[in-house]
Structure formats: structure tokens, C-alpha cells
Amino acid sequence: MKRWFIQCLNCALLGLIFIGLPAATRAQLGSWQISPGSQTQWLMFWSLALAAAGNAVAALGPVKSPKERRLCQEWAAVFVVLLLVQFAYQRGSIHFEWLKRSLLWLQKHL
């Protein structure tokens, strides 16, 4: 039961971070965006950091079962990897132009 709760909580956090935060911080009037994009990136960065820290603390403290502790460690690692990817993307170290080109090609040929 606890493993199921840990999975559901972390999946809900992922949904909240990647769907809820951008939707909540995006203020738009017609085609004019009012809120800055940096605010969304900043909130997403710190949300991922807090989720990773929360899972790490749970793995070290209140979770007693070795299987549940391992699950919290895995989720902490997932959030850290996502945090590093987002950080690298913000700094311009990685680009997704290849994905954009592939999707446009697919759209044109289907």
C-alpha cells in the first residue's frame, strides 16, 4: 500500500510540475504573453529540487521498509536527472531542434 502511495504521489508531482505550473504561471491577453517565461522556469527548477529533496529525506527518515526506501531513492534520482536536464536546457547546453525537425517532417509526410 505504501509503495502504491509513493508512486501515486510522485506521479502527481510530475504532472503538477510539468503541466500545472506552466498553465498556472502563463498569463496571456490575446496573443500577448503577460507573465515572463523565466518565472515558469524558476518555479519548475525549484519544484524539481524540492521533489528530489523530499524523496531523499523520505528515503533517509520516515520510510522503514527497504523496498519503499529504494523506491524513494529511485524517484529522487528521477527528479535529479530531470533537474539536470532542465538546467542544461536553460543554459543552452542541449537543444531539441532534432526533435522539432523530426516532428515537422512526420507531420508533413502523414
pLDDT value, residue 1? 64
Q: Which residues of the chain have pLDDT under 50?
A: none
pTM, 2 dp? 0.80
For every residue of the chain, which 3-state class applies, written as one string?
A: CHHHHHHHHHHHHHHHHHHHHHHHHCCEECCEECCCHHHHHHHHHHHHHHHHHHHHHHHHCCCCCHHHHHHHHHHHHHHHHHHHHHHHHHHCCCCCHHHHHHHHHHHHHC
